[in-house]
């Protein structure tokens, strides 16, 4: 039986994802543009996986949607990595598989990759209609970062 708190927990980041030095370690960069754009990481404390998908960039800052990848997909990827059979083309397939099998989380993460810092966690207001498309189809002109960091919280 699934309790209400289990469901809530499954929709939020683990409690260790807080501002400061990166609280996660990189598992695999799935797409890259002068730094990770689609990025599978896991919590340094509890190992919880999280898929970061870039939504916007402004100066040194990058804003990411967060998704919880399906556990089997993560295990499959780690197995492939250990076998050394994960090349760039295959990583692209993995990225699509991850996005399809993962569950959107209710937080956005603002990173400063140059400083390896998690700058801010932002709640997703459903009324904002955050786009779900790949960063390659988005403007990435800083509009979301400006809008979301203009308000406290
Ligand atoms: Zn954690």
The SS3 assignment for 151 reads coil
- Give 5 Cα–ligand 1 centroid separation in angstroms: 17
- Which pLDDT score is estimated for 59? 94
Q: Which two tokens stand for residue 34?
A: 């002068």
Predicted local distance difference test score (pLDDT) of residue 107 = 92
Query: What's the gap in Å between 109 CA and the centre of ligand 1?
Result: 15
* 115's tokens: 């400083």
Lowest-pLDDT range of 3-17, 20-34, 128-142 = 3-17
Whether the per-residue pLDDT at 91 is higher than 70: the answer is no
Distance 42 CA to ligand 1 centre (A): 8
Distance 16 CA to ligand 1 centre (A): 4
Domains of the chain: total: 1
Q: In terms of Cα–Cα distance, which of 98, 110, 85, 91 is closest to 49? A: 98
Helix (H, G, I), strand (E, B) or coil at 50: strand
36 Cβ contact partners less than 8 Å away, ≥ 6 residues apart:
26, 29, 52, 54, 113
Give the tens place of pLDDT for each residue, 10-32.
567 899 999 999 999 998 888 89
Contact 105, 12 (CB under 8 A): yes
Q: Angle, nearest 10°, between helix axes 71-83 and 88-101?
A: 170
Residue 141 alpha carbon to ligand 1 centre in Å: 31
pLDDT for position 79: 79
Distance in angstroms (rounded) separating the CA atoms of residues 72 and 70 = 6
Model confidence at 146, in pLDDT bands (50, 70, 90)? very high
CA distance 101 to 103: 7
Q: Of all residues in the chain, what percent carry a pLDDT higher than 70?
A: 83
Query: If 0-12 CB within 10 Å is exposed, 13-18 middle and 19+ buried, where does residue 3 land?
Result: exposed
Whole-number Å distance, alpha carbon 56 to ligand 1 midpoint, is 25
Determine the distance separating the centroid of ligand 1 and the alpha carbon of 44, expressed in angstroms.
7
Q: Indicate if the pLDDT at residue 94 is higher than 80.
A: no
Q: Does 138 have pLDDT greater than 70?
A: yes
| Reported confidence tier of residue 100, pLDDT bands at 50, 70, 90 | confident
Domain span including residue 140: 4-149
Report CA(38)–ligand 1 centroid distance (Å): 20
């Amino acid at each position: 039986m699934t309790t209400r708190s289990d469901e809530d927990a499954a929709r939020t980041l683990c409690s260790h994802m807080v501002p400061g030095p990166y609280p996660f370690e990189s598992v695999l960069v799935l797409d890259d543009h002068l730094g990770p754009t689609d990025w599978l990481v896991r919590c340094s404390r509890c190992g919880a996986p999280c898929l970061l998908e870039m939504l916007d960039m402004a100066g040194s800052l990058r804003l990411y949607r967060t998704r919880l990848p399906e556990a089997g997909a993560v295990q499959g990827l780690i197995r492939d990595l250990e076998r050394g059979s994960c090349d760039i083309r295959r990583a692209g397939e993995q990225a699509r598989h991850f996005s399809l099998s993962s569950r959107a989380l209710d937080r956005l993460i603002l990173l400063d990759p140059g400083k390896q810092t998690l700058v801010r966690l932002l709640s997703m207001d459903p009324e904002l209609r955050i786009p779900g498309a790949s960063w390659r189809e988005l403007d990435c002109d800083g509009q979301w970062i400006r809008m979301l960091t203009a308000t406290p919280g």
